[in-house]
Amino acid sequence: VALNVAQPAASPTETDALVIGAGPVGLFQVFQLGLQGIQAHVVDALPYPGGQCVELYADKPIYDIPGLPVCTGRELTERLLQQIKPFAATFHLGQEVATVEKMAYGRFAVETSRGIKFHSKTLFIAAGVGAFVPRSVKVDGLDFFNHTQLFYNALPPFDLGGKHVLVLGDGESALACANSLAQVGNPLHPQRPASVTLMHRRDSFKASDDTLATHHALRASKQLQFITAQPTGFAEHNGQLTGLQVVDSDAASHLLRADVVLAFLGVSPKLGPVAQWGLDLERKQLKVNTEDFATSEPGIYAVGDINTYPGKKKLILCGFHEATLAAFGAAARLFPEQPIHLQYTTTSPRLHGLLGVVPPTV
């Protein structure tokens, strides 16, 4: 499924709804907003939609999605992307929401870690275990190069031609990124990197079968290097990162040349910046009501694993319900003048129009 991926713009994007998190619940939030006639932008820390379902469970079976006796995390994601296609949401991937500020007239000013700005009337925090804080490389001082030579969960916005690229991680996104760089370089840029190296502490990965097969083929043809090691320090020259100091599986220390480091270490279960937004919390979860899953701040909703309420179970199917009632809540807030009637996708011509379908007449 092709996504609309936004390019950075200088002025804030005005929108009715911003969904933070592109896991299954965030994707279904887009669907339910769409049924209410509300178009959404979506931000996620990972470089693709699907959240943990793709990063950790891409090939693993899930058995408790109603009506899907068995499906993998990737299949669930693809099905949801197909389902939300009529609503043409815009995705902003490989970046976290860094700041949220209340504006006049009930809007929120939002800025991501890559400088994309929104003015949104509603926010939906569908961040799962954490869409805010990428797991960092544990090397003192390395964060100085963040956004110039060090990137988290994203490709750099410049050509990698002639550069030595080091990719860190063992999940789907780390392997998929290393494969893609070794095969075609940075998409949209013509030059190939001088070298692409994947580094992880063990020669063992959590990626899908396809990605893993490509990885091993690229290693066999020497298009991709792999090293079993952990970073301990870095080298620089005139303020430019030149490499990482690493210790390998035989406890030997090396200097590994690197002009660019791309870290795909997943996301941290920390709440991160959201803890600073002044929302009511309970044991590091966002407190919501069960009527429309609004947080303590009107206009900000929390759905999926990040919220809490009496009876809460961290199950994807519960998040689907929460996203649905949150969309009704947002519609009531955005269109206070018009009553929000429950309509059925089987029978409502309005919903058929929004979905772009022509059901059979009976």
Sites of contact with a second copy (CB under 8 A): 24, 28, 31-32, 35, 57, 59-71, 73, 76, 79-80, 82-83, 206, 289-292, 309-311, 313-315, 317-318, 320-322, 324-325, 328-329, 342, 345-346, 351, 355, 357, 359-360, 362
Find the shortest distance in angstroms from Cβ 175 to a second copy. 14
How far from chain centre, in Å, is Cα 331?
25
Closer residue to a second copy, CB minimum distance, 186 or 208: 208
Cα–Cα–Cα angle for 300, 305, 308, rounded to 5 degrees: 65
Handedness of CA 343, 344, 346, 347 (dihedral sign): negative
In the structure, how many helices (H) and strands (E) does the chain have? Answer: 7, 20
Closer residue to a second copy, CB minimum distance, 79 or 270: 79
Q: Using CB atoms within 10 A of its CB, is residue 150 exposed (0-12), middle (13-18) or buried (19+)?
A: buried
Closer residue to a second copy, CB minimum distance, 253 or 290: 290
List Cβ neighbours of 362 (8 Å cut-off, separation of 6 or more).
Answer: none
Q: DSSP H helical segments within the chain, as ranges?
A: 24-35, 52-55, 73-84, 172-184, 209-220, 316-334, 349-355
Find the shortest distance in angstroms from Cβ 264 to a second copy. 18
Closer residue to a second copy, CB minimum distance, 32 or 186: 32
CA dihedral 248, 251, 257, 259 (to 10 degrees): 70
Closer residue to a second copy, CB minimum distance, 113 or 122: 122
C-beta separation of 84 from 34 below 8 A? yes
Name 226's bridge partners: 198
Find the shortest distance in angstroms from Cβ 66 to a second copy. 4
Find the shortest distance in angstroms from Cβ 14 to a second copy. 28
Find the shortest distance in angstroms from Cβ 362 to a second copy. 7
CA-nearest of 331, 259, 305, 249 to 127 is 305
Closer residue to a second copy, CB minimum distance, 31 or 234: 31
CA-nearest of 26, 168, 169 to 93 is 26
Find the shortest distance in angstroms from Cβ 297 to a second copy. 18
CA–CA distance, 226 with 31 (Å, rounded to integer): 40
Find the shortest distance in angstroms from Cβ 31 to a second copy. 7
Copy the structure tokens of residue 212: 């893993």
- Is 141 strand, coil or helix? coil
Closer residue to a second copy, CB minimum distance, 8 or 353: 353
Find the shortest distance in angstroms from Cβ 8 to a second copy. 31
Closer residue to a second copy, CB minimum distance, 84 or 198: 84
